[in-house]
Chain A
Amino acid sequence: MNRALAVLAAVLLVSTSASAQTYPGSTTPGRIEISGGVVWIGGYEAGSRDATESANSSTGGAPLTLFTTSSRVSSATGFDARVAYFFGSRVAAEGLFQFSQPQLRVKTGDDFESATAATVVGTVSSYLFGGSLVYHFGSGRVVPFVHGGGGYLRMLDEDNADVTTGSEAHGGGGVKIWFGTGKSRLGVRADAQVSSRSKTPGFEDKRRMLGTVGAGVLYRF
């Protein structure tokens, strides 16, 4: 904990000392940044399990397979919205809301009674409420950045019958490109990150690492 605080303090000190460095002709931008955009979240295998029945065997033979299932969560496109407050020119604290609707697809097969193989589908609404610390490498027109943070996950099935909640941690980086030099300015943002989620749609109760990429529009004032 102490080590984490020390690192954070160092970052803040650096940002403070750098906050006066703006590129020529530029006005110091405002401290608030809002953004919105689209996000793509990668898919993953979500477990496979067979529907089995105990075999009629005194030797403990293999169970009878009624049918097999293998599950996958498809990659999904969603949107996010962010609000950031700049403590200086380089460091900002950012609040995040992200929404996506991945599909959970279960393929059935090898049916004992020859039922036609099917893909059984369910849609999950996934909400992420989180926050990040963002460090910007410079304060010019093109600004690379890295960020890290965490959040709270809330997922509902398509009937809103079952709610799953969990925690999330993420880290990544990207670039912001500004179109103006005034205190208020527009820009665009592209980023990629790894998101570690304690709960995800699917049938395996384990933490997963998901890759996400996003792009959006920025307004700083």
Chain B
Amino acid sequence: MTRRRLGAVVAGALLAAAVFSTDTLAYLKLGTRQGGQLITLKFNTLPVRYFVTNRDVPGVTASQLRDAAGRAFASWAGVPNVRLSSEFVGFTGANPLSGDGANVLGFVTRTDLDRVLGSTSFTVDTVTGGIVESDIFFNSLFSWSAASAGEPGRQDIESIALHEIGHMLGLGHSMVGETELVGTGRRVLGAEAIMFPIAFSAGVLNRVPRADDMAGMGDIYGTETFRSSTGSIAGRVTKNGTGVVGAHLVAFSPATGKLVAGFSLSQDGSFVIGGLEPGAFVLRAEPLDDGDASSFIESSVTIDADFKPAFYERLVTVPRGGTSRSVEIKVIPK
């Protein structure tokens, strides 16, 4: 999965295994198809042991990349009630694309991906979904910075590492963000998820997982406490009585201000948004229009983006450790 500066096609060819976004809770998780089943990708063995390529680029030394990656891993491990750990093993001369059984992070120059800041690839046990190897490259075509306060005109390595390590740990993309078209690509106006597929402008820091990211990580690596202390919203999005595929659902808590989102990915328009703190939520459905659909959902799925954004007319209460009543959001064509 890739992190782009401007809109670009996901570099699927980089993936060592077929990796899809699965129609699970909230945010998207990565999964692989085994027979007719989707299996969630995750590290089954912890800590996640990783190497850093011993190569400097202007603005970021290998040691600074190690430190930034360490902080990014720690940020994910700091999500409440998840069981995650990582261990820096050492520097390596290997590139982060080698398929050598080691998890490697490092800089590589990819002129063929001139809009891609970074990308994560996987080798997966397709029976268990266990991640055998995952590598992250950061494209040294771009200007990078490891400065604690960021630097104008340079991408912050910790921000981008946080996003790519999110992928490495199994998260797909989130669509909690707004963009505008700029030329042939998109520019982010705002985002409330580290896992939004398009990066903030160079020089802007984005180093803290948000509620949507936390819900996703909790879904994959959450402890029993996470599952018993959070709940979910389940329902359908329909248009003229039939299910809407690819609707983006946002659950907003007026009490906390937190946004957690998900998609309807089944033909009947059903969705589940998980990892929510108990309480009352405002639910909103919108078409998938802030990025390339393929950034979020496997390309074989045909999405319906022909409807107006709409709110569900009732507050939805999320119980602790359970699921809300099933709700139906009826949308109308644009």
The chain A residues found within 8 Å of chain B, CB to CB, are 47-58, 63-64, 66-67, 69, 71, 104, 106, 108, 111-116, 118-122, 157-159, 161-162, 203-205
User: With a CB–CB cut-off of 8 A, which chain B residues contact A162?
Assistant: 278-280, 317-320
B308 near A53: Cβ-Cβ < 8 Å: no
Query: Which residues of B, 1-16, contact A by the 8 Å Cβ criterion?
Result: none
Closest A residue by C-beta to B149: A58
Determine if B223 is an interface residue (Cβ-Cβ < 8 Å). no
Determine if B110 is an interface residue (Cβ-Cβ < 8 Å). no
Determine if B284 is an interface residue (Cβ-Cβ < 8 Å). yes
Task: Please classify the interface of chain A as helix (H, G, I), strand (E, B), loop, or mixed, using the class held by over half of its residues.
Answer: strand
Q: In the complex, what's the smallest C-beta–C-beta distance from B315 to chain A, in angstroms?
A: 3
Closest B residue by C-beta to A64: B190
Q: In the complex, what's the smallest C-beta–C-beta distance from A171 to chain B, in angstroms?
A: 29
User: With a CB–CB cut-off of 8 A, which chain B residues contact A54?
Assistant: 190-192, 206, 210
Q: In the complex, what's the smallest C-beta–C-beta distance from B229 to chain A, in angstroms?
A: 13
Most chain A CB atoms below 10 A, which of B201, B250, B308, B315:
B315
**With A and B bound together, what is the CA distance between A183 and B315 in angstroms?**
51
Task: Please classify the interface of chain B as helix (H, G, I), strand (E, B), loop, or mixed, using the class held by over half of its residues.
Answer: loop
Could you say which of A55, A63, A115 contacts B284, with CB atoms under 8 Å apart? A115
Could you say which of B190, B259, B308 contacts A56, with CB atoms under 8 Å apart? B190
Q: In the complex, what's the smallest C-beta–C-beta distance from A183 to chain B, in angstroms?
A: 50
A161 near B325: Cβ-Cβ < 8 Å: yes
A122 near B280: Cβ-Cβ < 8 Å: yes
**With A and B bound together, what is the CA distance between A112 and B107 in angstroms?**
37
Q: How many residues of chain B have a CB within 8 Å of chain A? A: 47
The chain B residues found within 8 Å of chain A, CB to CB, are 150, 152, 176-178, 187-192, 200-201, 203-206, 210, 231, 250, 252-255, 257, 259, 278-280, 282, 284, 286, 308-315, 317-320, 322, 324-325
Q: In the complex, what's the smallest C-beta–C-beta distance from A107 to chain B, in angstroms?
A: 10
User: With a CB–CB cut-off of 8 A, which chain B residues contact A159?
Assistant: 317, 319, 324-325
**With A and B bound together, what is the CA distance between A44 and B259 in angstroms?**
25
User: With a CB–CB cut-off of 8 A, which chain B residues contact A56?
Assistant: 187-191, 200-201, 204
Most chain B CB atoms below 10 A, which of A58, A67, A111, A114:
A58
**With A and B bound together, what is the CA distance between A129 and B170 in angstroms?**
49
B314 near A122: Cβ-Cβ < 8 Å: yes
